[in-house]
Amino acid sequence: MSNSSKPSLLIARAIFPEVIARLQNNFTLELNQEDCIFSPTELAQRLQGKFGMLCTSSARIDATLLAACPELRIVSSIAVGYDNIDLHACQHFGVMATNAPDVLSETTADYAWALLMAAARRVTEAEHFLRAGQWQKWSYDFFLGAEIHGTCLGILGMGRIGQAIARRASGFGMRVIYHNRQRLTPEQEAAAHGASYVEKERLLQEADHLMLALPYSPEVHHIIGAPELALMKPSATLCNIARGGIVDDTALIAALREGRLAAAGLDVFENEPRLNPDFLQLKNVVLSPHIASATRQTRLAMVNTAANNLIAAARGERPPQLLVV
C-alpha cells in the first residue's frame, strides 16, 4: 500500500512510539508528540481530510466539530469513559466512535485500593508531617486512622471496575454493599466477594469506606452532593476513581473541612486539571492527577486497543469496541 492510498489519521495526543510504528503501516499520520491540547478550532482544522482520530478524553467530540469535519469516519479513544463524545452526534454524522474497555479494570481497581488505604490510614498527612521535620516522638494517639479490615465497603457503580474493587475486599474480610443502575446476577455478586445490592441511601449510611466507580453522564452529575454527604458517617472515607463531576467538589471540601467526613482519596476532579484550590489546604485528603490506570502495561494496552479499532475500520471491518455507527 503506497502512502497516497493510505487513509489519513490524526494522533491527537502523544502516544507510545511502538504504536506509532504499528499505525504507520496502515495510515498516513499527523502526530502530536509534543502533546499539545488542541482548542476546538485547532482540532477541527487538523481533522480536515482525516479519515480518523486517536484521542483521549481531553478532546470534546460534538456536533459542531463533526459538522466541520465531513470526511471524518472514526474517533477512537484510548479511555474507557466516553463522556467527552456525543454519541448522538456521531450517529447523526455517520462517525464511528470507539473506546478501550476491559484493559484497565484491574489496574484501576489496584489504584482504588491504594487511595482507600492512604486516605483511611492518613498516609499523605503523616508523610508531610515527617518531611516537615515535625516527628519528635511516638505517642498513643499518633495519626490514628480508620480500620479497613472487617469494615463495610460501599461501591457506587458496579461495572467491571467496581466488581474488580469488590473482589479485592476478600483479603480484608470486608462486607461489600453496592448500588448500581442494574443489580448484578447472583453469580456476579458471589464473584464480587458476596456483594449485596442496597438502595443508594442505605449505601451512604452504612459504608465505612465509599468507592465511586460509575461512568459520568449528565444524569449522575453531582450524584454525591451535600445531601448525600450528610447521610455518611463522620468516620467514613470517600474515594473517587471514576470521573470528576460525579461529586460536588465544593460540598466535599466543606464536609472534609468541617469534620463531617473523615477523609477522601481523589484521582479525578471537576474541571481537571484546574481542580478547586481549596483541596490543597486540606490535610485529610489524598490527591492524585488522574493516574489510576497509569502503568506502562495498561496504558500500552489502552493505546493498542484504540489502534486496533482504527485498523479494523480502515479495513472495512467492524471495530471491536464500537460504541456507535
Give me the amino acid identity at 30: E
List Cβ neighbours of 230 (8 Å cut-off, separation of 6 or more): 260
List Cβ neighbours of 200 (8 Å cut-off, separation of 6 or more): 156, 179, 228
Q: Which of 252, 238, 245 is nearest to 268 (CA)?
A: 245
Catalytic residue among 290, 296, 299, 318: 290
Q: How many CA atoms lie within 13 A of 55 on its CB side?
A: 22
Q: What cell was used for 60? A: 470534546
- H or E element: which one contains 115? helix 105-120
- H or E element: which one contains 165? helix 160-168
Q: Please confirm, yes or no, whether 73 is among the known catalytic residues.
A: no
Q: What are phi and psi of 153, to 5 degrees?
A: -100, 120
Q: Compute the CA torsion angle 243, 228, 183, 292 (nearest 10 deg).
A: 30
Catalytic residue among 73, 121, 243, 299: 243
Decide: helix, strand or coil at residue 77. strand
Distances (CA, A) of 289 to 37, 147, 177, 244, 274: 16, 26, 28, 11, 10
Catalytic residue among 272, 299, 317, 318: 272
Decide: helix, strand or coil at residue 75. strand
The Cα–Cα gap between 280 and 287 comes to 9
- H or E element: which one contains 176? strand 175-179
Burial class (CB in 10 A: 0-12, 13-18, 19+), 179: buried
Q: Please confirm, yes or no, whether 92 is among the known catalytic residues.
A: no
**Active-site residue numbers?**
243, 272, 290
